[in-house]
Structures are given as C-alpha cells and as structure tokens.
Structure 1
Amino acid sequence: MTDASAAFVAAFAGEPAGRWAAPGRVNLIGEHTDYNDGFVLPFALGQRVVAAAARSPEPGWTVCSDFAPEPVTFTSTEIGAVQGWAAYVAGVVWALHDAGFEVPPARIAITSDVPVGAGVSSSAALESAVLTALVDLGGLDLPVAARPALAQRAENVYVGAPTGIMDQSASIRCEQGRALFLDCRTLEVEQIPFDLAAAGLAILIINSNAPHQHVDGEYGARRRSCEEAARILGVPALRDVHPGELDEALTKLDDEVMRRRVRHVVTEDQRVLDTVEQLRAGRIREIGPLMTASHASMRDDFEITVPEVDVAVRAALAAGAYGARMTGGGFGGCVLALIDADRAEATTAAVERAYAEHGFTAPTTWSATPGPGATRLP
C-alpha cells in the first residue's frame, strides 16, 4: 500500500495533519440479517483504507486516491453532483452537513489495500476513514457509537446503496482479537473473544474473484422482499419471527420465493446467536457446522451465491475445513473457511485445483486475524 502521507505530499505539496485508518471487514456469520433488524457477527481485517488529511485554506474538499488518476474537488454547492469513488467521500461530507455539523474544508489523500469488489466492504472502510479524519480535524462532537449510522446514511441516501449498518459498525467499532456481536435494532454491541491462534486455528479468506456489486437490482430486490414479508406477517421486521413460529409464518405467505427468503433470515439470526454462544464458551471449532449451514441457506433459500463461491466452499470442506461459507452481500466476493492453522497452504491448493477443473479465474487467499476499528495512526 502506498504511504498516505507521501501521497498527500505529492498531491498537495505540504504535510498532512495526520493519518486516519479504517479496516475492511468480513462477516463471520449473519448475512442479510442487518436490514431485518437482526444480528450480525463481523470482525475487522488487517487491510485498511488510510486517509492522510489536513484542513484546506480554500473552501471545499479535494480528495485524491491511489486508485484513481485525477483528484476530485467539490464545494458545498456542488456536493450533490459527485460521481464515482469520490461519491463515498462527498456522501460523508453531505451526511455530516445534514446532521448539523460544520465540516472543515479539507484536503485528503486516500490509500488502500482493502480489495475492491471482494465483499469485504471497501466502501465502508473508505467512508469510515474519511469520517474519522473529518471529525478529528473539525473537533466535531460525534460520539463513536453514533458514527456508523451517519456513515451508513452516506451510503444509503447519497450513494444509493441499500446496505444495512453492519459494514460501518464493523469498520468503526471492532476491536483487536474480537468479533463484534451487533444487535442491528438496538445497536448494542458486545465484543466476543475470537482468539484463533490460541486455539490453533485460522480463518482462510478465499477471494473468489467473481464480480461483486451491491448497487444493483438483486440486493435491493432481496431487501424489498423481506420488508414485504414482514408487512404481510404483521411484524416490525423479520427479526421478530421466532424460529419456533417459522413454519406457521411461512403458511401465511403465498409466494414460494418470499417463503425461502424469510426462512433464510429467521434461521440465520438463530445461527448468529448459536455462534456467539459457542464463542463465549471458547468452542471455536464448533462454529464450523453453523458456518456451513449458513452457506447452504444463502445458496438455496436466499439465492445469492455464484458457482465460484459454491466450488470454493465444497473444496475447502473436502480439504478438512471445519466450516466454510460465503461472506458479504453475495453475487461474488469471498469465502471464509475455518481451518487448522497449519492447513492454509493445503486448503488453498485444494481450492485452486477445483477452480482449474471448472475453468474459473484463480482465487486469491490470505489468513485473517481480527483487527481494530477506525483510529488515528501514530
């Protein structure tokens, strides 16, 4: 990753006031439960977006990045017209303004090693790094617990991606060596111990290298289906359907596709709760079957997997993984495999062989260690 301070100096011929970093995330379990007021269990990756920033002597905001050739400048009167990657930055400025904050004019240089399009929330990492920088630069009174909702508003309203609050919560509120148990209705969090190394385990992340895009019709269609089902069932959200009531609830729905969507969300919420219970007891290996069941539900009931991720899951399990599942919104992205720490190379080789047999583009893999959320760097 390019040094953000060096990028700032090259772009603006001056030193930044500081550097702020926010991580990408993977979701250990709990997919498409967040916008249903349910439960999620993400953890932060070591890969981060870094924003080197300083107040600007001129009105407005100029942002450059290591993944775009030209800087983008906008003022408060032009804020509604920013397109492309810079829209995530403009969205944060807009959301702060809309919440009544006086946002300091700034120059920002962005660098990142968070994979784009892999389902590890590079957009939330960008939003969270920029938000953290602007809050510090402006001395804004915005508590950490309130920041994910503001960053989510930037993505939902300004960018137009109908995501839940999990991604921003993970990027901002995660802690080193822990998974973030988030109740998406109350926004209460609990830091769940997730010490893989002490258990002799690892999470292998397999980037399927299949295209991944949230701002499209499929994600929005899943959300609308869930909201319509909740309306028909007379509950505030699908989180309010207890697993013991699921069969009865499904009889009230005439549409078979909608029934499958509801079954996924209700059972996935329970899988999150069961996973948290196992981790609290220190039984990390025992979460493997829950991960695998989650993948089957995403594949069969929510219908958001693609052949690349299904092949990766099957190959990882055949190579001895305790559990494996797609992570993220779906239609591409990454797979998580819970493995013995010394099995990373063997599992990777097994997935690579399976990809070659299917004629897929080779996957990329790395082992993930739960890291910290957004912070100012020394």
Structure 2
Amino acid sequence: MTSQLIDQHEYTRAGNLTRRFTEVYGHAPDGVWWAPGRVNLIGEHTDYNDGFVLPFAIDRAAMVAVRLRRAGEPNPEAVELASTYAPEGERLARARFTVPGLTPGADGDWGAYPAGVVHVLAGLDNVKVPGFELLLDSTVPVGAGLSSSHAVEVATIVALNDLLGLDLGRPAMALLTQQAENDFVGAPTGIMDQSASLMGRAGGALFLDCRTLESHVVPLPLAEHGFTVLVIDTKVAHSHADGGYAARRASCERGAATLGVASLRDVPADVDLAALDEETARRVRHVLTENARVLATVERLRSGDIAGIGELLTASHASLRDDYEVSCPELDLAVEAALAAGAVGARMTGGGFGGSAIALTPVSHERQVREAVLHGFAGTGLQAPDIFTVLPASGAQQL
C-alpha cells in the first residue's frame, strides 16, 4: 500500500510497539500497521440510508503489530491478541481464539473487533487465514464517537491483507469490515467509519456516496484559514450495539417502506410526510435535510468557504437533537457553550447517545472556547470533558 505522510511521533510509537511485541511474544512482529479514527464533519445517520457523508480521518489511531504463525509451530490456527488498553492493575488485556472456532456474537469485548475481521476473511473463497499474534495500541478515545472500534478493525484487515497477499482494494476492505461489524459484532453500522479510516487524506475530508461507494477528497485546509476543530469528549460512553442505534435504523426502514422506496435516498426533499406517524416523520426529515446539508458543505468547502460551513454544522446538531433524538444534555451543553464563546459552528458527531461534539473554531478563539465549555460543565456539576484538537490525517497503512 502506498505510504502517506504521517507524523514522526507515530513512527516512534511503532518502534515502541515493536519492542513491546517482542517482550510479550518472544520474537519480533512481521510489521506494524496504523489506522486512524475519524471525525464526521457532517452527515450523521445518513450512511445506512444510502446517503452522503463527509468524515475525515484524524491524527489519533489504532496501531497493531502482527506476526503470522509459521509452519510447524504449535497451535497453527490459534490467534493470540493483546492490548495495551488494559483494565486497571493489569499490564495487558488478552484474548485468544482459533480461526475455525469463531462464533458471531460470542465475545462482546474488544477482541470481537479483530475476531470479526478474521471471520469475514476466512469466509472468502480461496482464503485461508492462519493463526497469528497481535498487539494493539490505540490513541483513539474509547466510547467518544471517534470510531475507535473501526480503527481496530481497519488496522487488522490492512495488516492481514498485506501479510496474506490478498490484494483487496480499499472499498472492498471497507465492505468487509462493515460485514464484520454487522454480522459478527452485532452492531448495524453503515460504511462511513471504515471508509474514512481506509481512504482519508491529510488536509482533506472524504465525500462519500454511501449508495455507490464513490468517494472524493474535498479540501479541508483548516490551519491555512485560521481554524481548528475542537473535539469535546463528554465522557458519556455510548455503544452502537445497544438498542437506540438499531431503533433509529429500523425507523428509517419503516419510513422508506411506507413511502414506497428502497431507501430514504430515493425520497425527494419536498416529499409530503403526512403518511408517516409523527416520530417516523421526524426521523425521515432529519435524513433528508442532513443529506442536503452535506451537499451544501461540500460546495462551500470546494469554494474555499471554511467559515461558511459553520451554520450547517449547527443546523445538523439541531436536527439530530430534535428530529433524530440522539443527542444528550452533555452534548447539547458542549455545543451551546462553544457557540457562545466564538465557535462558528458546532455539532455532536458520531452515533450519539453520548460521545463527542466538535466545534469549528477560529484559532484566535480556541482558548476561550475551551474555557467556556469547561466552565459550563463545572457549573452544572458534570464531569469535565476532554477537549483536544484534531487535524485531517492520512488513511490506514503500514509503518
């Protein structure tokens, strides 16, 4: 895979992970692979409705060191996993399985993500996945809506694709990791997160048509225009495998069926929603207006109007809060405080029910926005959020 620009710090991380792998398993890995998390700039809950999304890969990533088992080694079909993201008091989190013994839904812990990738690859024609050893380290916050689980899946599939010589294209790997998430992990997610992690580019956002899977990089030169994206991690954990996400998806499917179309992508923007019950109509209205906001955002970015997308981000949050009902008080507070302190736009990002908000902020206002958000949370007795900046980063690759 083509090497792309990555910060030198990540190569230092890779060297440290290689040494740690050698300590854990007694020999060096075959290589180290890197897959970023993502921020969805705009286009929420549109991906599984065949709509449009505009995520960007971020400079926080999952990293895996991997070594395939050699012929003649004991337990040739055994997969051993270790992660530096370990429970308090433990050096490493561990998981183990055999390739033939994988059962969808059997393991709901972190090991389910690489296991799901192994399961879908092993199901391909003429592909035999041997046992291997893997050590994971990630800087993508867990439960923050930045796609930490997909980063693990993408790092795993890119590593195995290279090591096994499968020659899978990136759109194919996105579909396979979506299949792993849907069928093995049991989370009915769309195609956006994997695509951003696989096909992201430094300095750009990925405009993705989730029906055709066609994608284009749209310029997102934040620093050049004096802007930054602040991520406000509310620390309210969420999970795509819970009932709220699945319920929203089912509601969209009912709406499409009632309107007589295959998906909400086929519904015209001026459709009469009177045939739908009130809740379903609100869900459908969000998807239709959100698709329009994505297209408008792309148009403004292509014309170089960074500040002009702010109002679209804020309108997206209002729709997610009121029509799709996937926000929460902490996310609403983060958005309101950021806007009041000088952010030009802000919204929740990710599936919702917790996680993070983003604020498009002039660099000159970054400090006051941070302070206003922290003050707002402190004033309501809430746990202080983590606040950090992210930049558009390169897609998954070997280091």
Please give the range of the TM-score, normalised by the shorter of the 2 chains: over 0.9
Secondary structure of 1:335's aligned partner: strand
Secondary structure of 1:175's aligned partner: coil
| Alpha-carbon shift at residue 60 of structure 1 (Å) | 2.4
Could you tell me which residue of structure 2 aligns to residue 5 of structure 1? Answer: 18
Distance 1:272 1:70 in 2: 39
Unaligned runs of 5+ in 1: none
Distance 2:365 2:57 in 1: 22
Match among 175, 195, 204 for residue 178 of structure 1: 204
CA contact (8 A) 2:39 2:55 kept: yes
Could you tell me which residue of structure 1 aligns to residue 100 of structure 2? Answer: 77
Distance 1:283 1:65 in 2: 42
1:225-240 correspondence to structure 2 within 5 Å = 225-240=251-266
Distance 1:63 1:115 in 2: 20
| Alpha-carbon shift at residue 63 of structure 1 (Å) | 1.1
CA contact (8 A) 1:22 1:126 kept: yes
| Alpha-carbon shift at residue 70 of structure 1 (Å) | 4.1
CA contact (8 A) 1:119 1:330 kept: yes
User: Is 1:141 paired with 2:141?
Assistant: no
Could you tell me which residue of structure 2 aligns to residue 94 of structure 1? Answer: 119
Could you tell me which residue of structure 1 aligns to residue 298 of structure 2? Answer: 276
Distance 1:195 1:345 in 2: 20
Could you tell me which residue of structure 2 aligns to residue 285 of structure 1? Answer: 307
Distance 1:286 1:227 in 2: 33
The one-letter amino acid paired with 1:318 is A
Q: CA RMSD in A?
A: 1.2
User: Is 1:299 paired with 2:321?
Assistant: yes
Provide runs of 4+ in structure 1 moved above 4 Å: none
Moved more, 328-337 or 7-16: 7-16
Match among 211, 214, 218 for residue 237 of structure 2: 211
CA contact (8 A) 1:125 1:171 kept: yes
Could you tell me which residue of structure 2 aligns to residue 202 of structure 1? Answer: 228
TM-score by length of 1: 0.97
Moved more, 288-297 or 56-65: 56-65
Distance 1:59 1:95 in 2: 15
Moved more, 289-298 or 338-347: 338-347
Distance 1:87 1:288 in 2: 37
Could you tell me which residue of structure 2 aligns to residue 311 of structure 1? Answer: 333
Aligned length: 373
Distance 2:113 2:248 in 1: 23
Distance 2:308 2:287 in 1: 21
CA contact (8 A) 2:191 2:210 kept: yes
Distance 1:352 1:111 in 2: 29
The one-letter amino acid paired with 2:212 is T
| Alpha-carbon shift at residue 236 of structure 1 (Å) | 1.1
CA contact (8 A) 2:317 2:346 kept: yes
The one-letter amino acid paired with 2:366 is A
Distance 1:71 1:334 in 2: 28
